[in-house]
Amino acid sequence: MALMEDLEKLRDDMLSAISQAATSDALEEVRISVLGKKGSLTSVLRGMRDIPPEERPIIGKLSNEVRDRIEEALSQRAKQLKGAELEEKMKAGAIDISLPGRSMPIGTEHLINHIIRECSDIFAGIGYEIEGGREIETDWYNFTALNAPKDHPSRSMQDTFYIVDRSGDVSDVRGESDVLLRTQTSGTQVHVMEEKKPPIYMISPGKVYRHDVADPSHLPQFHQIEGLVVDKGITFGDLKGTLEYFIKAFFGEERKTRFRAHFFPFTEPSAEADVSCGICHGEGCRFCKHTGWVEILGCGMVDPNVFENVGIDPEVYTGFAFGVGVERLACLKYDVPDLRMLLEGDMRFLRQF
Amino acid sequence: MLVSLKWLDSMVKVPDGLQEFCDRLDLTGTGVEGVEKVGANLDGVKIGYVETCVDHPDSDHMHVCTVSFGDGEEPTQIVCGAPNIRAGIKVAVATIGSVLPGDFKIKKSKLRGVVSCGMICSERELNLSNDHEGIMVLPDDAPLGASFAEYRGLSDTVLDLEITPNRPDCLSMKGFAREVGAMYHVPWKYEPPVAVPGPQNDEHVEDFVSVEIADPERCPRYTARVIRNVKIGPSPDWLVERITALGARPINNVVDVTNYILFELGQPLHAFDLNAFSKQDDGKYHVLVKAAEDGTKFTTLDGVERELSSDVTMITDNGSNVALAGVMGGLDSEVTDATTDVLLESATFSTAHTSRTSRNLGLVSEASIRYERGVDASTCNEYSEIAAALIAAVSGGTVCQGVVDAYPLVPEPVELTLRPARLRAHIGADISDEEQFTILRDLGCEVKGASGDETVKVVAPTFRPDLIREIDLYEEVLRIYGMDRIEATLPGGAHAGGRTLDQQRIELISSTLRACGMNETMTYSLVAEDDLEKARIPEEGRGEAVELLNPMSSEQSVLRRSIIPGLLRSVAYNQSRGVANVQLFERGVVFGTAEGRKTPKERTLVAGVMTGSFNLPGWNQGAVEIDFFDAKGVVENLLRELATPKLRFKALEADEAPWLQPGRAAEVLSGGTVLGWIGEIHPLVAQEFDVEGAVAAFEFDMRALLSTAQEQRPYVDVPTLPGMEMDLALVVDEDVTCERIIQSIESAGRKGPFESVRLFDVYRDEKRVGAGKKSMAFRIAYRAGDRTLTSEEVEKAHDKIVAKVTKATGGEVRS
């Protein structure tokens, strides 16, 4: 039974060779040397035909066992070597993860539009629609329908840009016109009430214009967000609650709100709302002129004259309106030192937001 | 308006605690814009008691004193040279650190070897008079240690208040005292500064003056008084002190009184030199109030000649103009040092005419501010009588008896209905009937009715022209009751909101452009007249420029018709500051108009510019110079997001888009709808705007983008069976476009297993490809939905396409 001994020797030699193979390639060589066409085990098995038939089952069983054993050892060793080689490869592939990434830089949103979107989201969340509006209005929408008829002193509160009226109409006041760049978004109140029936819950962000030379704290064009609610049973308390909700949502839960009586032609009673100063937390500092408060918006209950101008019965419906200066919100949130930066398009400014 | 707290305190108790008072004013609708302490330069001057006083060892006239301030501290040693210094008197002491008038700072010093810690003051040293005979000896009851300025009433606090246009009644000390009384529910009183009537003569004013009002709408009341034998000179100190505190410059005793009464009572007055008027045949001066004649020239008190229109109301004397009613008097009739007889006007003029006159002439005065808000006609005469008495008192003149009072339009008191329950419902607060009535009464209203009545009548005082409707009363009650006391609630009803589809798409447009590396900006809507011309953008389709009637400068005199020029200015702005990579977009309104059009057309555009490269060259990627295709890539992504169908890019000829570089310009269409254009800015335009390098740009019409956008693209099954790809390199003439080849491939493949085609290379080489030719390499994908294709099938289909395409384009397959 020399063949059996041969087989056992072969097995032992091969197992030793397998365990000594240092690389996948060396292991492959071992595999070929034993299992390949000209491999040692193959040639042993080829010698089977010379074995007496009665011995064949025993030799056959043994040779199968040897082959299984070798194959198992090969596969185990292969796995070991692959793992080690992968480790090696990964080690060599380590990088400096502090190097900058590879991407196309994403663009940025303009600060003003960012704030408009943020405010719109807050009001959309409490069931408000968002309305557009024209930037050029007639006197009626910007003033008269808003209860500021001709010669009303409130008109001189706002420096208006007038447009050359190409229809041939002439204004009573020299240098004025029936057509103008809107000085406030409040005209959208009138448009919306003319077009829709109550209940109305809307905001209308947009650009407005004032006859001001651009300087660090003034721009001839800026943005407001108008708000209007018309429904049955709306109270001044609702106005307070809604704006307090907005202010907390925008500035943060810890901020306080106060309302000061004021005058606007299109609301009565009218108020201005202040938010507690975010820098000194109401203690008083230079930023808030030592008052602890910063003014952020004007508001009030819709004046019955405005309702009558658009055919809504003020005995049935009440409502409130408000107007927020977007640049003001931007300055309060980001401390922009010079408003003109908003219109210069300086990439170094724009890419901060 | 400026308010002196010292003056106010003579009418109503000014609350202690300045900060709380200012806060309360703010909350009730009177904005406090400034607080100025007057007399504060005597800070540190205190009332002291001279304990001891001995002769200075080294001087024959100086004394060494010890002074105490009643604060338990050791007495302070002060050297004093005044002859009347002695122990046991109270004096004004400038302590160390105080600064006296003339910027004289008090320091610790040595006088002939003796330490002196302060100075005992004379009246002159405190700028109270010229008396320098000796130090001031104060009464024994002067409070020890107290501030001298406060003790002598030298210190005053002046508030700068923002009086809203609906509150003319608050534009006077008296009216403001009433407001403070209502705010705190405390009594207030008004007493004239002198006895009324003042010294009178025997003459009767009606023998001197007659008044006629041509148009009562313009002038509801005009009263005239005459004060004779006045002596023009400076006003007494108390009067000067009061009017200067409120911002007036003292002029002379007569004019100062008119300012005083204006501040105290809110009645604008005008003092004319009576002798500047011309006497008529009946021996009288005739005042006629009438419209000015168009084109009249008139020189006002400030020395400016002004051209008038008939909208202006004039005070005239015998046909000549003497004053712009309600705004400003004339130079020729002003009170001068030579004036002996004064005609005193106390009148009311129409708010509308005053407002227009003031705006038309650009002339704002203390009088016009009050008249355009409304002056109470019912008190014209009463206040004129006080003024006349005061003029007589300060100028030594006498008042003629009686008054000429033209009063064609007597105001009816306004009676309003108040429903206390509705007020509560409107405000959302439980303010009792009685609280409501009290507030209204404190403000000067008469309330007819009782608690529990469903409605009550409220008579508004004539000085409150803003109280004409029930809602006006709600406002009054709310602001005095306190907005801070109203509970914050939210509206109850259910209502849906949110963004419309178009609004969502506008957000999508912005966010997609940002995702493509574009930075959103904003530029000025106001531009120069030649803005469009400079950019070589034709007017066609954009309308005529919308002109401002009152521009601030020629650089900003019309409204923009394109966003591109503004964006180019921003590119130049960046480049001049060393920022080479610029990618900007703006969505904004442009304007255009035409003859006969009242309101111009507004159109929202989305425009972008890009130059340099999108990224800085990095360690692992290069920076590619921006060109046409970067803009096109941005636009392709944008229109993909909007699911815009039937997208087409059509080359624009030089004459179709003169602002773009010829050969690098395209119109973008969806079917037949023009959406906008893409291109590289013409080098000459770039140069005009001081921009360097290639600038790729686009401009799209928002409406067109929104109207062609689709809600969703049709769903196409994801392939489950394998496909096959074949490449085709085609050598064609330069003028054969990619679009044409692709269309030809698509059309040739329509019936076979063709799936899609993609250009992956363009190659030019004179030797290998040929002059005027290019090689374009396409990868064509084949797939069948129902079976796995065999290579024979694909090859057959491919050959068919190649044959058709070469024929259609005149190209050859590159081997």
Domain for residue B714, yes or no? Answer: no
Query: Residue B220: its pLDDT value, please?
Result: 95
Q: What is the pLDDT of residues A72-124, one digit of tens each?
A: 999 999 999 999 999 999 999 999 999 988 888 899 999 999 999 999 999 99
Whether the pLDDT of residue A213 is over 80: the answer is: yes
Residues B418 and B274 in one domain: no
Looking from the CA of A107 toward its CB, the CA atoms found within 13 Å total 27
Give me the pLDDT at residue A158, please: 58
- Note the pLDDT tens digit of each residue in A277-324: 888 888 888 878 888 898 999 999 999 999 999 999 999 999 999 999
Q: pLDDT band at residue A152, thresholds of 50, 70 and 90?
A: low
Using the Cα atoms of residue B518, residue B519, residue B520 and residue B524 in order, give the sign of their dihedral.
Answer: negative
Asked if residue B337 is part of any domain, the answer here is: yes
For B573, the closest of A137, A244, A346 (CB atoms) is A346
Q: For B287-324, how does the pLDDT look when each residue is reduced to its tens digit (9 = 90+)?
A: 999 999 999 999 988 889 999 988 899 999 988 899 99
ipTM for the assembly: 0.87
Same domain, B276 and B334: yes
pLDDT digits (tens, 9 = 90+) for B559-596: 999 999 999 999 999 999 999 999 999 999 999 999 99
Identity of the amino acid at A197:
K
pLDDT at B747: 94
> Pick from B375, B406, B437: which residue ends a domain?
B406
**Interchain pair A173, B521: CB under 8 A:** no
Query: Exposed, middle or buried by CB within 10 Å (0-12, 13-18, 19+), for B184?
Result: middle
- Cβ-defined contact of B567 to A345 (cutoff 8 Å): yes
Which residues lie below 8 Å from residue A214, measured CB to CB, with a gap of 6+? Answer: A220, A339, A340, A343
CATH number at residue B424: 3.30.56.10
Nearest to B152 by CA among B91, B213, B110, B199: B91
Edge-to-edge strands of the sheet including B812-813? B754-763, B773-782, B724-733, B812-813
pLDDT at A283: 84
Residue A149 has pLDDT above 80, yes or no: no
Within this chain, do residues B323 and B242 fall inside the same structural domain, yes or no?
Answer: yes
The fraction of chain B above a pLDDT of 70, given in percent, is 99
**Per-residue pLDDT band at A156 (split at 50, 70, 90):** low
Residue B776's domain is classified under what CATH number? 3.30.70.380
Whether residues B567 and B698 share a domain: the answer is yes
Mean pLDDT of B231-236: 94
Of the pLDDT bands very low, low, confident and very high (cuts 50, 70, 90), residue A336 is confident
Confidence of residue A171 (pLDDT cuts 50, 70, 90): confident
Residue among B358, B428, B556 minimizing CB distance to A235: B428
Nearest to A235 among B427, B515, B621 (CB): B427
Q: Is residue B491 part of a domain?
A: no
Residue B130 has pLDDT above 80, yes or no: no
Residue B359, token pair as written in the block: 């705006």
Same domain, residue pair B169 and B209: no
Q: Provide the pLDDT for residue A223.
A: 97
Which range of residues forms the domain containing residue B729? 724-813
**DSSP-based three-state secondary structure for B352:** helix
Same domain, B533 and B626: yes
pTM: 0.84
A residues 33-92 lying closer than 8 A (beta carbon) to B: none
- From residue A320, alpha-carbon distances to A226, A230, A235, B55 in Å are 11, 7, 8, 78
Mean pLDDT score of chain B: 93
Is the Cβ pair A109, B510 closer than 8 Å? yes
Q: Which residue among A199, A244, A345 places its CB closest to the CB of B488?
A: A244
* Lowest mean pLDDT, pick from A188-197, A230-239, B713-722: B713-722
Give the per-residue pLDDT at A162. 92
Q: What is the mean pLDDT of residues B178-204?
A: 95
In tens, the pLDDT along B205-221 reads 999 899 999 999 999 99
Q: Is B360 close to A173, i.e. CB distance below 8 A?
A: yes
Closest-CA residue in chain B for A242?
A: B490
Residues B462, B378: one domain? no
Q: Which of B650, B683, B708 is the last residue of a domain?
A: B708
pLDDT the model gives residue B472? 96
Interface membership of A285 toward B (CB under 8 Å):
no
Stretch B14-22: mean pLDDT, rounded?
Answer: 92
Tell me how far apart the alpha carbons of residues B764 and B770 are, in angstroms, rounded to a whole number.
8
Are B330 and B451 within one domain? no
Average pLDDT of the segment spanning B34-61: 86
Residue A1 pLDDT = 57
Q: Which residues, other chains included, contact A235 with Cβ-Cβ below 8 Å and sequence gap of 6+? A: A318, B425, B426, B427, B428, B489
A153 has pLDDT over 60: no
A105 Cβ under 8 Å from any chain B Cβ: yes
Q: Is B139 helix (H, G, I), strand (E, B) or coil?
A: coil
B318 and B224 part of one domain: yes
> Which range, of A2-11, B136-145, B603-612, averages the lowest pLDDT?
A2-11
Give me the CATH number covering residue B333.
3.50.40.10
Strands across the sheet containing B209-213: B209-213, B285-291, B313-317, B320-324, B328-329
Test the B interface: residue of A263, A270, A302 with most B CBs within 10 Å? A263
Residues in chain A: 353
Q: Is residue B355 part of a domain?
A: yes
Peptide bond into A199 cis (omega under 30): yes
B513 contacts on A by Cβ (under 8 Å): 107
Strands B695-701 and B601-611: antiparallel
Same domain for B531 and B635: yes
Whole-angstrom distance, CA of residue B704 vs CA of residue A267:
38
Asked whether residue B715 is domain-assigned, the answer is no
Instruction: Tell me which residue in B29, B372, B596 faces A167 most closely, judged by beta carbons.
Output: B596
Residue in B469, B499, B519 closest to A124 by CB: B499
A343:B523 CB<8 A: yes
Residues B55 and B110 placed together within one structural domain of the fold? yes
B194 belongs to a structural domain: no
Instruction: Count contacts between A and B (CB, < 8 Å).
Output: 288
Does B59 have pLDDT greater than 90?
Answer: no
Strand ranges across the sheet with B456-460: B414-418, B456-460, B446-448
Residue B382 pLDDT: 96
Of A48-57, B345-354, B431-440, B595-604, where does mean pLDDT reach its minimum?
A48-57
Query: Does any CB of chain B come closer than 8 Å to the CB of residue A152?
Result: yes
Query: Is residue B189 assigned to a domain?
Result: no
pLDDT of residue A278: 83
Q: How far is CA B69 from CA A128, B446, B487, in A?
A: 67, 52, 51
| DSSP-assigned letter for residue B227 | E
Do B11 and B48 belong together in one domain? no
Domain count across chain B: 6
Per-residue pLDDT of B499-556, as tens digits, reads 999 999 999 999 999 999 999 999 999 999 999 999 999 999 999 999 999 999 999 9
Cα three-residue angle A45-A50-A53, rounded to 5 degrees: 95
Could you tell me if A99 lies within 8 Å of chain B, comparing CB atoms?
A: yes
B684 in helix, strand or coil?
A: helix
Whether B592 maps to a domain, the answer reads: yes
Instruction: State the nearest Cα–Cα gap between B295 and chain A, in angstroms.
Output: 13
Query: Is B157:B36 a contact under the CB 8 Å cutoff?
Result: yes
With a cut of 70, say whether residue B39 has pLDDT above it.
no
- Measured CA to CA, the distance from residue B385 to residue B340 in angstroms comes to 19
